[in-house]
Structure 1
């Protein structure tokens, strides 16, 4: 591996280590070739996410990024670390270009859509922003069987995104985004005013638990084909799912305080979970 490529992968690793300790911990168990590829894919996703959430002019910046990605797909050599690393990944694996495009579509949804009517809409959004990441990673984690694993990877992505939604309710409200389905809120008698007033009452807990149970069902679906992955990928994938799923239990123990706190699984808890499933 050239010095330039090695440095590009190191920069991608720095990005995931700083922004997703859960995924970094889990996928660090992969062999180095796959591990580097995961870092590069994560750096791509992080850049799009940061444009939408932190960009000064996200619509323009996202159009610029899409143009860059079009050039990349057409074989042009782009000289930033993420593109250098990603080119090496695309050269080594049978990558799913549509998944990358769909993920960008999902991020664009956050620029124009701030409330969701039904769980079906939430799941479609979750596919675009999270299941697509699983589809990106599949050829890296399971080069020979990735096509037959797509449905379960989509389920796992939906599970993780619903977990994100349930963890980030307060943070999303600050951005004027509400991912709790309106029909479920109406069914439980929980109003948008209650949400902005940060009311944790029986109706809120019932909504939260309904979505958490849905996420847990998708975790089960997503992991049912674990035996079809190469042995080297099984523990990292299972670890990522279990570490993410543990966030739900953490929130339950903290009495659903998601408006003012962002709940994480501690390093010690992560190590205990990984040890228990290995």
Structure 2
């Protein structure tokens, strides 16, 4: 007989996944559109992992002014929640502790409804799909690199190799988390290099699109050695930001980095064929749309300080519709 307690847990889990879906829809338009091509079970798992990563990213991005991030639609919880840890570093430690407790003991002690829902859904996904816990800890370690006061904090990267070490945790680890959810036609280990590369390709695209936003946070994710080869240093970069204009040397540097980014996509995309056939259209859609952000940067003459490169809604719908047609054939 099914009693009220199991039913309540099921209802709570459904609400947790629904909260993650809303977060994905609001903040990850390209990813969210791609997930509509997945089965409902895989879709909600991707939403949970995305929401967890987004929650952590929000903690990091508010490093200078920590705030409580609550979902306004979660109007059911109006109690005064327990205060969050004072610093972003402590908040990251708390998130890791909470996730470990849920994974190991099924317990989560927080009155912050949004936090509880995200961690609960993420832990359920991790357990359901047997995702290696190490990928989560690697991700959190990379996020600590963005937070002042941590032992590993840094805001500049001299070479692509150094940046790659950061992206291994911040992006490649996300691709590795997703692999068990998506499914493969080969041993998972064989698909991991391409999955990691695709995560890094997405991340570098973000860095190229968000140069101005990152500078405002006193972060530079474009390798300084690569910029220097075109006569661009930090002072030059900041001067362009202040003027709101990308000059010729920076334009050449961005063109070079976009070429490097496209090479990572070329390494990653063949790995889509290693995924389960039914999920390939969704990942192809995400890769296509994200790579097209680079086209938009070029079309705007590299004016990254005045124009945030986005793929038009109509184009995103067209690419997704093509993916849907392919999905229905499987």
Say whether 1:67 aligns with 2:97.
yes
Does the CA contact (< 8 Å) of 1:93 and 1:143 recur in 2? no
Distance 1:4 1:74 in 2: 19
Consecutive unaligned residues in structure 2, runs of 5 or more = 1-6, 67-86, 110-115, 148-152
CA RMSD of aligned residues (A): 1.7
TM-score by length of 1: 0.94
Where 1:106 maps in the other structure, the secondary structure is helix
Q: Kindly state the Cα deviation for residue 78 of structure 1 after the two structures are TM-superposed.
A: 2.2
For 1:205, the equivalent position in structure 2 comes to: 251
Consecutive unaligned residues in structure 1, runs of 5 or more = none
Say whether 1:169 aligns with 2:211.
yes
Provide, for residues 68-94 of structure 1, a one-character-per-residue CA deviation record: whole Å limited to 9, x for no partner.
122233233327212222232133212
TM-score by length of 2: 0.80
Distance 1:250 1:94 in 2: 38
Say whether 1:40 aligns with 2:48.
yes
Provide, for residues 217-242 of structure 1, a one-character-per-residue CA deviation record: whole Å limited to 9, x for no partner.
11111111222211211001111111
For 2:167, the equivalent position in structure 1 comes to: 126
For 2:310, the equivalent position in structure 1 comes to: 264
Provide, for residues 74-128 of structure 1, a one-character-per-residue CA deviation record: whole Å limited to 9, x for no partner.
2333272122222321332120211111111111111221111111111221221
For 1:192, the equivalent position in structure 2 comes to: 234
Distance 1:93 1:233 in 2: 15
For 1:113, the equivalent position in structure 2 comes to: 154
User: Larger radius of gyration, structure 1 or 2?
Assistant: 2
Distance 2:218 2:173 in 1: 24
**Which has the larger displacement, 77-86 or 126-135?**
77-86
Distance 1:76 1:175 in 2: 36
Distance 2:56 2:47 in 1: 15
Shift of the 267–6 alpha-carbon distance from structure 1 to 2, 3 Å rule, reads same
Does the CA contact (< 8 Å) of 2:185 and 2:274 recur in 1? no
Higher-helix-fraction structure? 1
For 1:7, the equivalent position in structure 2 comes to: 15
Provide, for residues 14-62 of structure 1, a one-character-per-residue CA deviation record: whole Å limited to 9, x for no partner.
0111111010001121000100111111111111111111251211211
Shift of the 116–87 alpha-carbon distance from structure 1 to 2, 3 Å rule, reads closer
Distance 2:161 2:252 in 1: 18
Q: Kindly state the Cα deviation for residue 173 of structure 1 after the two structures are TM-superposed.
A: 0.5
